[in-house]
Amino acid sequence: MNIALPVLGGLGLFLYGMNLMGIGLQKAAGDRLKKLIEVLTNNRLMGVIVGALVTMIIQSSSATTVMVIGFVNAGLMTLAQAAGVIMGANIGTTVTAQLIAFNLTDFAPIAVAVGVGIWIATSKKKAKSIAEILIGFGILFMGMDMMGSGLKPLADMPVFTNIMISLKNPILGMLVGLGLTAIIQSSSASIGLLQALAGQGLVQMDVAFPILFGENIGTTTTALISSIGANKTAKRAAVIHFLFNLIGTIIFMTILRHPIEFLVTKISPLDVKRQIANAHTLFNLINVIIQLPFANLLVKIARTIIPGDGKLEVQEAKFLDPRIVETPSIALGQVKKEILRMGSLALDNLNKVRYAFVEERYENIDLVLEQEQKINRLQREITDYLVMLSNAPISDEEHKRVNIFFNIINDIERVGDHAENIAELAMERRDNNFPFTDQAIGELHEIFDKVSEAFQQALEAFKSNNEALAKGVLKLEDEVDILERQNRANHIERLNKGQCLTGSGIIFLDAISNLERMADHSSNIALFILDKNKTSPKTI
């Protein structure tokens, strides 16, 4: 227990510190992280660079790979792109080991003290993100120190010495590294533990190197587990990650192990922790150089292992994947795309019911009802995703965006409901053969034009965050209110004069009432864009 408790406690602190530092870096990067992913092209080298940079920010190659699987699952990234990013992620994860090799344990309490001081003293988001980075950095090294202290007594245990001797068998060492990383689910943590052993003089490079190989294979288990339930293309991305590290391990075990081991011991002859860090970096860097030209071959092998068309299978939403929640700034961008897709379905329904209700073209009525069901399913899926995001470590600004998104999807869903109401009125008109006067048809076209323009403009304002467009929606909503009152008065006058049937008059008035409410919901969306939601927009 004297060994287990400090080691487990230190490992817990290490993982927590690494996670906290990653969260702080993500918040500090903010939308820049989203833009970094967006610069990704079919250029595999660019994918490698992006993968390395993103992993340096989020401090986990497993998290990057899981995020990539999310992108592939959502259809936002091809397998060829994913292969480059995964390779780059393996390079980016070596930064943690290099950082540990500096042995900055003495500075850890200072980093925590300064970080906590900044956190308490300021309310600025950027400063708090920097505080999280410092606190995470300090806790990481405190965890390393605790692990090292806990492992120190092992030097006097013959059993441990015998185990270390047995691990000179490279195959056995590799299997130990694989198993350890598969259990911890973090190659950085398992390598940190290996460096802690090295820091106490308990392991040398000849034993550490095979364990390092196994840890690089073990880290792929996170992505393989994450791909369960994803589409076939996402499963292939996880297989590419596994194949890349497996092939690299085989190359190093058979050809490059001794040359690289000689090189790292020559560079840092007295520092085994640095030797491990350098070996880890060289393994992944050389692995990328060797395999990058054959990325398309890896894709073909993955397609052979996982056959099929790779289409999306169950989820109504195209852009949402729980794996992407690991990077909230990117996840919010995906939610916005899904909301716009939901909005385009509602707009399409609005245009279709116009032809059915006004022009008596009923061929698309069933499609309107089918799309309304899609809109409802999308609302549920987006809402569930936003709840997940709101429980993630996000900034105050991101919380505000989440709350606005909640309101906007509700308004879009209500527009869909009103379009469905008009579709039902159209069927009532058809079934009862209710006619409209030419004047009524002209009035309906006019109000439909305004409402369609208002909703379309609200969606465009949301897409581009354009305040001028949002203000235009508010003007259009006022015009719709005026039209609704005029048309209501005109129709009542026609009814009094006996120019139209009572049944026609009732469904006409119901229709323009639904259209006026659609304009109100468009106005709500515009108000949220203008950040005027504090003034309590209309509740319909």
Q: What is the DSSP string of 396-463?
A: HHHHHHHHHHHHHHHHHHHHHHHHHHHHHHHHHHHHHT----HHHHHHHHHHHHHHHHHHHHHHHHHH
Nearest to 331 by CA among 26, 5, 20: 26
Q: How long is the chain?
A: 540
Cβ atoms 58, 327 nearer than 8 A: yes
Alpha-carbon torsion, ordered 284, 286, 287, 289, to 10 deg:
120
DSSP 8-state assignment for residue 319: S
- Please check whether the domain covering 322-535 is classified as CATH 3.40.50.300: no
pTM of structure: 0.65
The pLDDT, as a whole number, for residue 310 is 47
For residue 419, give Cα distances in angstroms to 283, 361, 461, 476.
59, 15, 21, 18
The top-scoring range by mean pLDDT among 7-16, 75-84, 208-217, 500-509 is 208-217
Please tell me the distance from the alpha carbon of residue 42 to that of residue 40, in angstroms, as a whole number.
7
Please tell me the distance from the alpha carbon of residue 318 to that of residue 472, in angstroms, as a whole number.
30
Please tell me the distance from the alpha carbon of residue 147 to that of residue 6, in angstroms, as a whole number.
6
pLDDT tens, 443-463?
888 999 999 999 999 999 999
Is pLDDT at 32 greater than 70 in this prediction? no
Alpha-carbon torsion, ordered 473, 475, 480, 481, to 10 deg:
120
Nearest to 152 by CA among 202, 101, 203, 204: 202
What the block records as the tokens of 23 is 């969260």
Domain with CATH 1.20.58.220 in the chain: 322-535
Nearest to 420 by CA among 377, 484, 480, 356: 356
**Residue 368: which residues within 8 A CB-CB, separation 6 or more?**
349, 352, 353, 356, 419, 420, 423
pLDDT tens, 205-225?
888 888 988 988 988 888 888
Pick the more confident residue, 344 or 153.
Answer: 344
Q: Which of 162-171, 381-390, 426-435 has the lowest mean pLDDT?
A: 162-171
What the block records as the tokens of 1 is 């227990």
Nearest to 18 by CA among 139, 116, 127, 119: 139
Burial label, 160 (beta-carbon count in 10 A; 0-12, 13-18, 19+): middle
The top-scoring range by mean pLDDT among 24-28, 63-67, 232-236, 382-386 is 382-386
Helix (H) or strand (E) holding 292: none
What the block records as the tokens of 281 is 């970096």
- Model confidence at 540, in pLDDT bands (50, 70, 90)? very low
What is the mean predicted confidence (pLDDT) over 30-58? 71
Residue located via tokens 């590799």: 174
